[in-house]
Amino acid sequence: MKKPLLDNYIKALKTLDEAMIKPPANNLERDGIIQRFEYCIEISWKSAKKVLEHHESPADTPRNVFRELAKLGWINNPEEWIAFLEARNKTSHLYHDGVAEEIFKLIPSFVKASHQLLEVLEAKLK
């Protein structure tokens, strides 16, 4: 039960890592990377929610998941994660090149934070 709980997160993060190996050659590639970011942020909070439930610390919304993670000391900065969520929301509701560039610039920070979160979640399932 423990490792499979994070399998989707691991796979999603791997696809984002692969996409970030080299800078995008055009807007189509950039937009593809942004789409990978979108599903990674979704899977990250849902995976964290499952691990929290496993530790009997339920949270019902993405924001509450990240606040609970911070409360438990599993992440340092819930506001950073909330900013990632807000960036994902921007791509869903309003899309133009300025927004795309803004979000693309956040992705390296998200990747770093995601790897840190994944390490913590894996450790909590041992």
Domain count, the chain: 1
Q: How far is CA 3 from the centre of its chain?
A: 18
CATH of the domain at 22: 1.20.120.330
Burial of 84 (0-12, 13-18, 19+ CB in 10 A): buried
pLDDT at position 1 is 45
Tell me the pLDDT tens digit for each residue of 38-56: 999 999 999 999 999 999 9
Q: Which domain holds residue 115?
A: 3-124
CA gap 72, 125 in Å, rounded: 15
* Strand, helix or coil for residue 22: coil
- Per the confidence metrics, is the pTM higher than 0.85? yes
Average pLDDT, the chain: 93
* pLDDT interval class at 8 (50, 70, 90): very high
Q: How confident is the model over 104-125, as a mean pLDDT? A: 96
φ, ψ for residue 23, nearest 5 deg: -60, 145
pLDDT at position 2 is 56
Tell me the pLDDT tens digit for each residue of 21-39: 999 999 999 999 999 999 9
Tell me the pLDDT tens digit for each residue of 82-97: 999 999 988 866 667 7
Q: How confident is the model over 44-72, as a mean pLDDT? A: 96
CA gap 123, 110 in Å, rounded: 20
